[in-house]
A and B are shown apart, each in its own frame.
Chain A
Amino acid sequence: MKKSRRAWIYIGFVAPALFIYLAVIAFPVMSSVLLSFTKYNVYKNTAVWIGLANYIKIFKEPVFWFSVRNNLFVIFVSVFGQIPIGFILAYIIYRKLVKHRNFFQLMVFLPSIISTVIVGILWSSLFSPIGAITKIIQSITKNPDYVMSIMTNKNLAMLPIGFVLLWMYTGTYLIIFLANLQNINPDVIEAAQIDGATNSQILTKVIIPQLYGVIVLTMILAISGSLKSFDLVFAMTGGGPAYYTNLLAIYMYNYSFIYANYGVGSAISTVMVFMCIVLIFMIRFIRSKIESMED
C-alpha cells in the first residue's frame, strides 16, 4: 500500500476524536490560561491584557486561602483516610480473614456509584436539624432539645464533609487495591511462608513493596480528584456557612458564573491545574527517593 494512502486512512481513523478533543479540551485549556491574564468583557467579547493583576487579586483575598486550606483538608482525608482504610479493607478481603467477603465488598463500594450530587443532598439532610443524626443523638443523650449544629459551625463544618468523603470513596480504593493484590503471584507469598515469615513480615516485606506503583497511582488519583471536587460540597453546603467550606472549584464557580468575572475565574482554575501538577511531581519525587533508599 502506498504511504500517502495509509496516511489518509490514519487521519480518517483519528480525525473524529482528535477534532472533538482539540475543540473542547486542548483549545479551551490554552485560552483559559490566556484569559487569566486579561480583563474580559462579556458583552463586547473583548479581552484587555492586565498581566498578573487577577492573580494578585485572588492571593490577597482571605476566601482564596480558606479555599486552599479546605482543599488541602480534602486531600488530607483522601491520602491519610480513604487510601489506608481502603488498603486495610482490601487486605482483609484478600487474605480471606473474614467470611461474607463478596457481600462486604459490595456494600463498601456501593456509595461510589451514586451520583455525588445525590450523596451531598442526602447527607446534608441527615445532618440537618430534622435529619436522622440529630434524632439519634437526641435519643442517646436523652436530651430532646439537642440540635445538630455542626453544619453551621464555621470551624467544624468541614468535618461532616470529610466524613462523607470517606463514606463515598473508600470503596473505590478498596476495589483498586484488591484488584492489584489479586495480581500478586501467590507463589511468592507461599515461599515466604515456607521460609518462616510471619504475617506482618509478609505484609511489609513482600506485599507492600509490590504495590508501590499502585500506591503512588492512588495518591495521584486522590490529589487530582480532591482538587477538582465540586459537586459534593456544592450540593451539601454550597460552600457555606459564608465561605467556610468553599473549595477552589466553588470559589472559581462563584467568580465566573455568579459575578461573571471570567479573568479571575480563569486565574483560579489555572492555579488549580498548577497545584495539581506540583503535588503530583512531589509524590513522584518522594517515590523515587524511597526507591533509591531501598536499593
Chain B
Amino acid sequence: MFNIILSIREEQKYPTEMTQKEIFNKTIMYAIFILFTALTIYPLIWLFYSSFKPLIEIIKNSLALPKKPTFNNYIQAIKIGKLGLYMINSIIYTTVSTTLTIIFSMMTSFAFAKIENRATSFLYNLFLIGLLITIQAILIPLFIVETRAGLTDTYFGVIIAYIAINLPLAVYLGTEYIKKIPNSLIEAAQIEGATYWKIFTSIILPICRPVIVTILILTSFACWNEFILVFILTASDRTRSLPVGIYSFSGPLASEYGMQFAALVIGITPMIILYAIFHKQISKGFASGAIKG
C-alpha cells in the first residue's frame, strides 16, 4: 500500500509532463483501486485477528487487537463444530467429483468432436441446455428420487449430483477445444492401427492439457464451495461438507462469535493459499469458463 502512495508522489514531481486534469484522473483511478483493495483486505484481517480473541473481548471492543490471544476458539470450533471431519468430506467430494467430471466429460467431448454420429448435434445441445438450468429446478425431484433409492446421506448421492451439475460446462469447453485439433493427427494414428481408446489416451488427452486445467479449476472450486445440494441431500455429520458445517455456526452457535470467526478462518485459508500459488491459472480458468450461465 505504501508503495502505491509513493509512486503517486513520484509522478506528481513532474507537473510539466502532466496536465492538472490528468493528475486528477490518475488520483481517482488509484483511489478506486485502493478502495477495492482495502475493502478486500480489511474484513479478512479483522476476521483473522478477531478469531484469536476471547468472546468477552469481541463483545467489548470489536475493533481492538486481541489483548490475550488464544487458540481456544479454534480448539472449540474443531471439537464442537467437527470441522476436521467436514474438511475431510469436502476433500473427498471435491477430488472424486472433479476427477470423474474430467474423465467423463473428456470422453464425451472426444466422441462429439471426432467420432462421426448422427446423434451428436442433438446430444450436444441437450448438454448445452444444462448451462441454463438452475439448481432449484432439479432439487425436489432429485431429493425425492435419492430418498426413495436410499442415496440421501451417502457420498455417492452427493458425488453423482456434483458430477452432473459440472458436466455441461466441461463438455462444452472440451468439445470446442477438441474440434480444433486437426483430423489428420487422428487419421495418421488410425493408419498405424491405433484404437479409438488409444488415440484418446495418448494423443487427445495430452493435447488437451490447457482445457483440462480450466475444467479442473472451475469444477473443484464449484464443488468445494457448493452449499445447497449437500445441505439438502445429507442429514448427518458423517457426510456433511465444510460450507454446511460452517453454516451451522450461524444457527444455534451464532452468539459464539469467537468460534464462528475461527470456523470462517479455517474455511477461507485453503482457498487463499491455493489462490496465492495458482492465481494466474485460476483467473485464466474463470475467464475462459465465463460462458457458464
Contact = CB atoms under 8 A, between A and B. Distances in A.
B198 to A, nearest CB: 12
B55 to A, nearest CB: 10
A231 B227 contact: yes
Given A175-B287, A178-B287, A121 B62 contact: no
Nearest to B112: A14
A277 B137 CA distance: 13
Interface in B267-293: 267-268, 271-272, 274-275, 279, 282-284, 286-288, 290-293
A108 B160 CA distance: 34
Contacts of B272: 110
A25 interface: yes
B279 to A, nearest CB: 6
B228 A230 contact: yes
Contacts of B283: 105, 109, 175
Given A89-B32, A130-B257, A17 B137 contact: no
A247 to B, nearest CB: 10
B36 A108 contact: yes
Nearest to B242: A115
B86 to A, nearest CB: 12
Given A107-B40, A225-B293, A45 B133 contact: no
Interface in A54-102: 88-89, 92, 97-100
A32 interface: yes
Nearest to A252: B136
Interface of A is mostly: helix
Interface stretch (B12-20, B71-79, B245-253): B245-253
Contacts, number: 272
Contacts of B228: 230-231, 234, 249, 253
Interface stretch (A3-11, A153-161, A190-198, A204-212): A3-11
B123 interface: yes
A123 to B, nearest CB: 7
B116 A123 contact: no
A273 interface: yes
Interface string B40-58: 1111001100000000001
Contacts of A21: 126-127, 130, 164, 167-168
Interface range on chain A: under 10, 10 to 19, 20 to 34, or 35 or more?
35 or more
Contacts of B43: 122-123, 126, 132
Nearest to B190: A1
Contact of A28 (B4, B141, B250): B141
A25 B169 CA distance: 13
B7 interface: yes
A24 to B, nearest CB: 3
Nearest to B3: A100
A262 interface: yes
Contacts of A165: none
Interface of A: 6-7, 9-10, 13-14, 16-18, 20-21, 23-29, 31-32, 35, 45, 88-89, 92, 97-100, 103-118, 120-126, 130-132, 134-136, 139, 167, 170, 172, 175-176, 178-180, 214, 217-218, 220-221, 223-225, 227-228, 230-231, 234-235, 248-249, 252-253, 256-257, 262, 265-266, 268-270, 272-273, 276-277, 280
